């Protein structure tokens, strides 16, 4: 008995001060209201605004079913009173009361439905309890709640001199000590349940832990925050597509998600055609591969060597064969022509000879040796051409065509072994400074490095592959094929593809773009151009309201869709996050790199419900 008493004491307050219209419970000021007036017509989820109130508000609904016999008797008596009043008014020549007429029609309709078994009657009591830390704050909260109920056409009365009973009524104890109830039918009662809400559903409604996933911003339809976990078990894949016109905030959102994903242990690999991620990589200690820069090289002959967590290095059983097949593709892109059968045969023999010159043979034990380079292949083609004169001529021609990439003006990408190992929690491949003549081969080598990292079976971990300004990548054949491959197969490697593009019409109008969108479980639409909104509406099955929202959305406002779930949100970032991810020239001109410490605020701080002083909205950034 003593143990049971201790358990009860653990839940009971230490002190309760009772006032006429309020309580003070352990320093918490409480006021309770009973809803006594309701609108004539309601819609599904009409009580949802009470649950999304930004302060602390307890809403209790007490439901008691009425048996059919009692319901029929009460409806009959109510109809008799209403009909008697109507006849009395008509006999004395008075004007008809429209409220009585409406009530009579409703009573007849309800009586008919109850008699046919299409509905039942319930006695329902709705009570509200407001919490605040001080008496003055309670007065402000009470005024705000009463204003909210008035906007919903609800008449909320304070439980004067019954404040203690009112508070107990809203506790999860199933006790209605106030007893101020109204009669609801089945349709009205079902509409009162707040199952419809603008907020995304919680992964585990019974958990009190912090929401999983990444904070995107705050909900425009409520005061809630929008957390989204792309690696959640409920999603079919981890891919995401972000579509919006230029200046709508696509890159800002992508960088914000990447920065916050790093705090969850997610590895980020970025393909950056516009060199927008250099500052972010420097801030978090990531790897920055600046292709086209001085001394930055990617060797296409590197075998896919995998390093296990214990430091052991190994290669797949068919590593050499697969690398030779890739080199056929890479050299076709590099030379700019489709190779003939004879050229491919000569090149195949030259590739094996090139690896043999570096001591790499069919024996897997030799695959860990340093790989040859493009210069070695050129030399092999020049010095080992044998056989017919035609073969010699073709070998010499291939060697001559490789000369600009070995000793000529385009040699900066291939003149030696790989200089920067793409390793770390954030890897950024910048493609902006690649010459146009090397854009295709540079893109192919970058995508090959990304895929080898993603498909490494010895280092499985959640990864996000970010392709910003994807329309630039889709212009290259290799880039388009990579996007299609990643969209289809990334889930099997615990990876997600993020595609952000402003060229919405072209993406939706191509088979590749449709495949990428169809294989993205998370779809985010930012502000759309008038010329593209019709196609966006058709593909994403937007309602008229969603269509208008995307046409008029401010910068940083968007619509997140994931299956049947849709939510409109506003991107928010802390000042430190904004410092490292903004690309606004006006802001960058005023930034001092020594002013902010990345670790002091990233991923922390108050949400919009607690006050937005510590956050920055994208439309104000």
Average pLDDT over residues 415-423: 79
Residues 104, 109, 113, 119: what is their CA dihedral angle, to the nearest 10 degrees? Answer: -70
pLDDT at 86: 76
Residue 603: predicted pLDDT: 35
Per-residue pLDDT averaged across 50-62, rounded?
86
Q: What pLDDT was estimated at residue 612?
A: 35
Q: Which of 35-39, 57-61, 83-87, 136-140 has the lowest mean pLDDT?
A: 83-87
What is the mean predicted confidence (pLDDT) over 375-385?
Answer: 82
Q: Would you say the C-alpha torsion 156, 157, 163, 166 has a positive or negative sign? A: negative
User: Tell me, what's the pLDDT at 198?
Assistant: 61
Mean pLDDT of 4-27: 75
Among 1.10.275.10, 1.10.8.730, 2.40.50.180, 3.40.50.970, what is the CATH number of 306-412? 1.10.8.730
Start and end residues for every CATH 1.10.8.730 domain found in the chain: 306-412
Q: In this predicted structure, what is the pLDDT of residue 77?
A: 77
Residue 10's pLDDT is: 52
Where are the domain boundaries for CATH 3.40.50.300 in the chain? 225-288+423-620
The tokens describing 90, both together, are 């008509």
Give the highest mean pLDDT range of 156-165, 516-525, 581-590: 156-165
pLDDT at 183 over 50: yes
| Whole-number pLDDT of residue 195 | 57
pLDDT tens profile 292-308: 888 888 888 888 877 66
Report the C-alpha gap between 84 and 8 in whole angstroms: 55
| Contact partners, residue 135, CB within 8 Å, separation at least 6 | 22, 29
Q: Which of 163-172, 296-305, 380-389, 448-457 has the highest mean pLDDT?
A: 163-172
Q: Where does the pLDDT of residue 7 fall: very low under 50, low under 70, confident under 90, or very high at 90 and above? A: very low
| pLDDT exceeds cutoff 90 at 169 | yes
**What pLDDT score does 620 carry?**
40
Mean pLDDT along residues 187-198: 71
**Residues 49/148, Cβ–Cβ less than 8 Å:** yes
E-state strands within 153-312? 155-158, 182-185, 214-219, 225-228, 240-243, 267-272, 287-290, 306-307
> For residue range 399-418, what is the model confidence (pLDDT) as tens digits?
888 888 888 888 888 878 88
Higher pLDDT, 596 or 145: 145
Among the listed ranges 13-22, 106-115, 514-523, 530-539, which one has the minimum average pLDDT value? 106-115
Q: What is the pLDDT of residues 431-454, one digit of tens each?
A: 888 888 888 888 888 888 888 888
Span 464-475, average pLDDT: 79
- Mean pLDDT on 95-108: 71
Mean pLDDT of 182-189: 81
CB 540 within 8 A of CB 510: no
Q: Which residue has the higher pLDDT, 136 or 103?
A: 136
Determine what percent of the chain is predicted with pLDDT higher than 70. Answer: 84
What mean pLDDT comes out for the span 556-572? Answer: 87
Ranking 125-129, 269-273, 424-428, 502-506 by mean pLDDT, the lowest is: 502-506
Reduce the DSSP state of residue 156 to 3 states and report it: strand
Rg (CA), the chain: 34
Q: What local confidence, expressed as pLDDT, does residue 386 receive?
A: 54
Q: Say whether domain 225-288+423-620 belongs to CATH 1.10.3470.10.
A: no
311 pLDDT band (50/70/90 cuts)? low
- Return the pLDDT at 146: 92
- Per-residue confidence (pLDDT) for residue 223, from 0 to 100: 64
- Collapse the DSSP code of 507 into the 3-class scheme (helix H, G, I; strand E, B; otherwise coil) and give the result: helix
pTM higher than 0.95, yes or no? Answer: no
Structure tokens at 487: 């969209």
Given a cut of 50, whether residue 605 has pLDDT beyond it is: no
Q: Can you give the pLDDT at residue 526?
A: 92
């Amino acid at each position: 008995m003593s143990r049971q008493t201790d358990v009860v004491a653990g839940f009971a307050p230490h002190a309760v001060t009772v006032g006429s219209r309020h309580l003070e419970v352990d320093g918490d000021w409480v006021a309770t209201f009973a809803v006594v007036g309701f609108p004539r017509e309601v819609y599904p989820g009409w009580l949802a605004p009470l649950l999304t109130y930004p302060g602390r508000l307890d809403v209790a609904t007490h439901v008691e079913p009425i048996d059919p016999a009692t319901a029929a008797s009460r409806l009959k008596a109510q109809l008799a009173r209403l009909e008697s009043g109507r006849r009395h008014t008509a006999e004395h020549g008075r004007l008809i009361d429209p409220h009585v007429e409406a009530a009579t029609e409703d009573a007849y309709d309800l009586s008919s439905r109850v008699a046919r078994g299409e509905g039942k009657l319930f006695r329902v009591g709705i009570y509200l309890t407001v919490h605040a830390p001080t008496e003055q704050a309670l007065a402000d909260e009470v005024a705000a709640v009463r204003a909210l109920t008035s906007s919903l056409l609800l008449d909320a009365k304070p439980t004067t001199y019954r404040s203690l009973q009112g508070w107990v009524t809203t506790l999860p104890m199933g006790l209605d000590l106030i007893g101020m109830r109204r009669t609801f039918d089945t349709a009205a009662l079902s509409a009162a349940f707040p199952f419809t809400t603008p907020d995304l559903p919680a992964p585990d409604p019974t958990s009190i832990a912090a929401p999983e996933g990444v904070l995107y911003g705050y909900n425009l339809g409520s005061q809630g925050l929008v957390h989204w976990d792309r690696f959640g078990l409920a999603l079919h894949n981890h891919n995401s597509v972000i579509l919006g016109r230029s200046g709508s905030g696509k890159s800002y959102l992508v960088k914000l998600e990447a920065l916050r994903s790093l705090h969850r242990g997610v590895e980020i690999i970025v393909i950056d055609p516009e060199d927008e991620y250099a500052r972010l990589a420097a801030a978090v200690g990531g790897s920055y591969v600046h292709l086209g820069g001085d001394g930055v090289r990617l060797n296409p002959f590197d075998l896919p060597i995998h390093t296990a967590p214990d430091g052991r290095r190994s290669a797949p059983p068919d590593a050499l064969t697969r690398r030779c097949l890739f080199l056929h593709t890479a050299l076709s892109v590099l030379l700019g022509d489709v190779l003939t059968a004879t050229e491919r045969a000569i090149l195949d023999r030259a590739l094996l000879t090139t690896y043999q010159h570096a001591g790499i043979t069919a024996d897997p034990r030799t695959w860990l040796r340093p790989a040859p380079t493009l210069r070695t292949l050129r030399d092999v083609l020049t010095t080992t051409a044998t056989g017919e004169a035609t073969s010699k001529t073709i070998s010499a021609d291939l060697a001559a065509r490789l000369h600009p990439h070995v000793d000529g003006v385009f040699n900066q990408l291939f003149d030696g072994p790989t200089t920067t190992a793409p390793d770390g929690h954030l890897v950024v491949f910048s493609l902006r400074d690649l010459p146009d003549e090397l854009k295709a081969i540079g893109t192919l080598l970058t995508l090959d490095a990304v895929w080898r990292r993603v498909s490494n079976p010895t280092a499985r971990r959640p990864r996000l592959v970010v392709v910003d300004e994807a329309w630039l990548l889709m212009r290259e054949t290799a880039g388009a094929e990579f996007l299609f491959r990643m969209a289809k197969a990334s889930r099997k490697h615990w990876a997600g593809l993020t595609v952000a593009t402003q060229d919405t019409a072209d993406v939706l109008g191509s088979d590749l773009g449709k495949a990428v969108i169809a294989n993205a479980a998370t779809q985010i639409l930012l502000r759309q151009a008038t010329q593209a909104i019709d196609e966006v509406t058709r593909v994403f099955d937007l309602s008229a309201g969603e269509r208008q929202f995307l046409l008029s959305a401010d910068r940083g406002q968007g619509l997140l869709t994931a299956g049947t779930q849709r939510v409109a949100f506003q991107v928010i970032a802390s000042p430190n996050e904004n410092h490292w991810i903004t690309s606004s020239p006006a802001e960058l001109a005023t930034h001092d790199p020594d002013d902010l410490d990345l670790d002091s605020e990233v991923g922390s701080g108050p949400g919009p419900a607690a006050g937005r002083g510590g956050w920055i909205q994208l439309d104000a950034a």
